[in-house]
């Protein structure tokens, strides 16, 4: 009888330990989900913070959204459809960044007299049409073209480089002691090297496993 009682006590203790361990894991998972939800809510409610660097370049700061792949495919269906066309076979989607910029540059250049040779439709006659030619070359934009009395024909080339940095803030043990390996939040900064580029929107989404 004592033998069965002994084993019953052992089984009961093991059961309690397993239940407590499972509850702790569930509490930790729920805590992480609540923390992620608060972070996502804060990120969604905050506008993209734009500022100037010490060099006078346009920059923006934004937080990180953490969502599941199914949520991304639901709420970012257009982007998800585009990503599916990329050459990413046998790879898992980990993160998506999206940047929207606008470049406005006030241009000034000299007009020069030139002649454009054109053909008359349905005929073999060549006509020399007086026109104004313009060529503007700057570090971040090129504009080349010509204008006649009723139209302008040309090409514009703009150049830009976007620098994106990620900074991580780690959680501390008990909130104020030593730094742990768990990430509290991430922030991303993007800088345009083109001084005429304005960053209008910036979004970073991390896909959960």
pLDDT in tens, 45-84: 456 778 888 888 888 888 777 777 777 787 778 888 877 8
Residue 42 has pLDDT above 60, yes or no: no
**CA angle centred on 64, ends 61 and 69, rounded to 5°:** 145
Q: Can you give the pTM of this predicted structure?
A: 0.60
Q: Identify the CA nearest to 60 among candidates 195, 193, 205, 190.
A: 190
Mean pLDDT score of the chain = 77
Q: What pLDDT is attached to residue 38?
A: 59
Alpha-carbon torsion (190, 192, 196, 197), positive or negative: negative
- Higher per-residue confidence, 208 vs 147: 147
Residue 153 CA to residue 145 CA, distance in Å, equals 5
Give the Cβ contact number of residue 148 at 10 Å: 13
Q: What pLDDT is attached to residue 5?
A: 66
pLDDT in tens, 152-203: 889 999 888 888 888 888 877 777 777 777 777 778 888 988 888 888 888 8
Query: Do 114 and 133 touch, CB atoms closer than 8 A?
Result: yes
**SS3 of residue 138 by DSSP:** coil
Report the length, in residues, of the chain. Answer: 209
List the beta strands (DSSP E) in the chain.
Answer: 49-52, 58-63, 65-68, 95-103, 111-119, 126-137, 141-147, 152-158, 162-172, 179-192, 197-208
């Amino acid at each position: 009888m004592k033998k069965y009682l002994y084993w019953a006590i052992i089984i009961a203790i093991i059961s309690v330990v397993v239940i407590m361990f499972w509850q702790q894991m569930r509490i930790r998972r729920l805590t992480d989900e609540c923390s992620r939800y608060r972070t996502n809510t804060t990120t969604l409610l905050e506008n993209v913070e734009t500022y100037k660097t010490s060099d006078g370049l346009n920059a923006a700061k934004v937080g990180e959204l953490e969502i599941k792949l199914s949520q991304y495919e639901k709420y970012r269906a257009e982007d998800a459809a585009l990503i599916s066309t990329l050459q990413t076979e046998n790879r898992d989607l980990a993160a998506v960044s999206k940047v929207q910029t606008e470049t406005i540059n006030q241009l000034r250049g000299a007009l020069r007299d030139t002649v454009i040779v054109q053909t008359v439709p349905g005929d073999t006659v060549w006509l020399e049409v007086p026109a104004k030619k313009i060529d503007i070359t700057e570090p971040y934009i090129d504009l080349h073209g010509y204008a006649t009395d009723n139209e302008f024909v040309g090409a514009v080339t703009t150049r830009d480089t976007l620098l994106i940095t990620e900074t991580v803030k780690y959680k501390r043990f008990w909130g104020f002691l030593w730094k742990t390996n768990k990430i509290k939040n991430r922030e991303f900064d993007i800088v345009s090297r083109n001084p005429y580029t304005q960053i209008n929107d910036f979004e970073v989404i991390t896909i959960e496993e």
